[in-house]
C-alpha cells in the first residue's frame, strides 16, 4: 500500500515538473521571434516564465507542506479575496483590457488575472462546504451561489473559457458529492439556453461558431487562428521540423507562446512530441485520481478530484481548440503556456493535490 502511495506521488511530481520544464523550453522557442519584433530581445518570455515557474513551485511547496491547506477558513478567505479582485478588475483604471477582455490587473511590468485564481479558490471552498453536508441531502442553495457569483463576474469581462472551466470543475465536485444525474440533465438544458443567450448578447461568439464550422469562410478574420494552428500541426509529420524551426511562429500564429503553444510543439516535434505531452498529462490525471481515491477523508477526496478536473479539462479544451476540434476560445495549456497567473494557479492546484498525498495526517 505504501509502495503504491509512493508511486502515485512520484508519477504526479515527475509529470508536473516535466510539463513545466517542457513549457519553459518551448516558450523560448515559440516566443523568440515575437520578442525580437516587439521587444528587440529574443529572451523576455523565457526570463519571465522562469521567474513565474520558480515562484509557482515555491507557492506549491507552501501549499503542500502548510497546515492551512486543510483549513476551511483559508479557502473561505481566499475565495472572497478572489471575488473582490474580480470586482476590482471591472473598475476603470484598475482593470486592463487585452484582446477585447478586461481581465487583468496591471502591477508594473507584471499583471494578474483574477479569473485564474478564482478557479482554484472555488474548488477549495466548495469542497469544504460539501464536507459539512456529507451524509446529508447534498442540495444546498449556497453551493450554487458560490459557483454563480464568480461565473457572472467572469462573464462580465467577458471570459467564456475561464467561466466554463470553473463551472465544469465545480460540477465534478457536485457529482462526486452525490448530486443526481437528473439534476445535471436539467442543468444541461438550462446551459443550452444560456449558451444561446450568450451568443445573442455578444455576436462575436456567433462568428467564432461559424469559423469553427468553416474557418475558410473568413480566413483573415474569425477563422485566422484556427487555420494557422492547423498549418503548424499538419506539416509537423511524425518527427517535426526540429526544435526552434517552427515557421508559424514568424507572426503567422499570433502570440504563439500563449494559447497556441501546443501547435508550435507539434510543428517542431511532430506527432511523437505532441503524443508525449498528452501521455504526461494522462500520467498526471491517473496519478491524481489514484491520490484522490486513496484520500482518507471526504474533503480531501473532493478537493483533490476537483483540482485534477480543473487541470485536465483545461488541457482538453486547449488541445481541442488548437487541433480544430472545438471553437476558438482563449484558454492556456496548463504548466506549458506562457503566463504567470495561469502557471501559478496550475501549480497551486498541484500543490493542493500533493498536500493530501504527502500529509494525510494533517487533513
Task: Between 285 and 106, name the one with better pLDDT.
Answer: 285
Distance CA 313, CA 110 (A): 27
Vertex 225 angle, CA 106 and 262, to 5°: 80
> Is 70 exceeded by the pLDDT of residue 351?
yes
Distance CA 158, CA 286 (A): 33
List the domain boundaries for the chain.
2-362
Residue 361's pLDDT is 47
pLDDT tens string 177-213:
888 888 888 877 877 777 777 666 666 667 777 777 7
Task: Between 359 and 163, name the one with better pLDDT.
Answer: 163
**Residue 91, Ramachandran bin (φ over 0: left; ψ between -120 and 50: alpha; else beta):** beta
Distance CA 225, CA 258 (A): 12
CA 304 to chain centre: 15
Residue 48: how many CB atoms within 10 A of its CB? 17
| 310 close to 20: Cβ distance less than 8 angstroms | no
Distance CA 207, CA 217 (A): 10
Of the candidates 253, 254, 277, 280, which has an alpha carbon nearest to the alpha carbon of residue 265? 277
> Is 90 exceeded by the pLDDT of residue 10?
yes
**DSSP structural state of residue 105:** E
Residue 200's pLDDT is 64
Share of the chain above pLDDT 70, in %: 93
- Which residues fall within 8 angstroms of residue 26, CB to CB, at 6 or more apart? 257, 261, 264, 265, 268, 336
Give the mean pLDDT of 255-276. 94
pTM for the predicted model, two decimal places = 0.91
Strand ranges (DSSP E) for the chain? 95-98, 101-107, 110-112
Burial pattern 231-257, b for ≥16 Cβ within 10 A else e, equals ebbeebeeebbeeeebebbeeebebbb
| 96 close to 106: Cβ distance less than 8 angstroms | yes
How far the first Cα of the chain sits from its last, in Å, is: 19
- Torsion angles phi and psi, residue 98, rounded to 5: -140, 130
Amino acid at each position: 500500500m505504501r509502495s503504491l502511495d509512493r508511486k502515485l506521488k512520484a508519477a504526479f511530481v515527475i509529470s508536473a515538473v516535466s510539463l513545466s520544464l517542457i513549457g519553459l523550453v518551448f516558450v523560448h522557442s515559440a516566443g523568440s521571434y515575437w520578442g525580437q519584433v516587439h521587444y528587440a530581445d529574443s529572451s523576455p518570455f523565457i526570463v519571465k516564465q522562469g521567474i513565474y515557474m520558480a515562484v509557482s513551485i515555491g507557492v506549491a511547496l507552501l501549499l503542500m507542506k502548510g497546515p492551512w491547506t486543510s483549513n476551511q477558513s483559508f479557502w473561505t478567505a481566499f475565495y472572497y479575496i478572489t471575488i473582490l479582485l474580480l470586482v476590482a478588475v471591472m473598475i476603470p483604471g484598475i482593470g486592463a483590457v487585452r484582446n477585447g477582455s478586461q481581465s487583468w490587473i496591471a502591477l508594473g511590468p507584471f499583471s494578474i488575472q483574477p479569473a485564474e485564481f478564482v478557479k482554484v479558490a472555488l474548488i477549495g471552498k466548495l469542497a469544504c462546504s460539501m464536507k459539512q453536508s456529507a451524509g446529508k441531502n447534498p442540495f444546498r442553495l449556497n453551493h450554487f451561489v458560490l459557483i454563480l457569483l464568480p461565473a457572472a463576474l467572469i462573464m462580465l469581462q467577458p471570459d467564456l473559457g475561464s467561466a466554463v472551466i470553473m463551472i465544469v470543475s465545480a460540477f465534478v465536485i457536485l457529482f462526486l458529492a452525490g448530486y443526481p444525474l437528473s439534476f445535471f440533465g436539467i442543468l444541461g438544458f438550462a446551459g443550452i439556453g444560456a449558451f444561446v443567450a450568450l451568443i445573442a448578447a455578444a455576436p462575436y461568439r456567433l462568428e467564432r461558431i461559424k469559423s469553427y464550422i468553416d474557418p475558410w469562410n473568413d480566413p483573415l478574420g474569425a477563422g485566422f487562428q484556427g487555420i494557422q494552428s492547423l498549418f503548424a500541426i499538419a506539416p509537423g509529420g511524425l518527427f517535426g521540423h526540429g526544435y526552434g524551426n517552427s515557421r508559424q511562429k514568424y507572426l503567422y500564429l499570433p502570440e504563439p507562446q500563449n494559447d497556441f503553444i501546443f501547435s508550435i510543439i507539434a510543428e517542431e516535434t511532430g506527432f511523437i512530441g505532441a503524443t508525449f505531452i498528452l501521455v504526461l498529462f494522462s500520467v498526471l490525471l491517473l496519478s491524481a485520481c489514484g491520490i484522490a481515491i486513496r484520500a482518507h477523508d471526504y474533503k480531501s477526496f473532493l478537493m483533490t478530484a476537483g483540482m485534477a478536473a480543473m487541470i485536465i479539462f483545461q488541457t482538453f479544451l486547449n488541445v481541442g481548440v488548437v487541433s480544430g476540434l472545438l471553437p476558438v476560445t482563449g484558454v492556456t495549456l496548463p504548466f506549458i503556456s506562457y503566463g504567470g497567473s495561469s502557471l501559478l494557479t496550475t501549480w497551486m492546484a498541484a500543490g493542493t493535490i500533493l498536500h493530501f498525498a504527502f500529509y494525510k495526517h494533517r487533513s
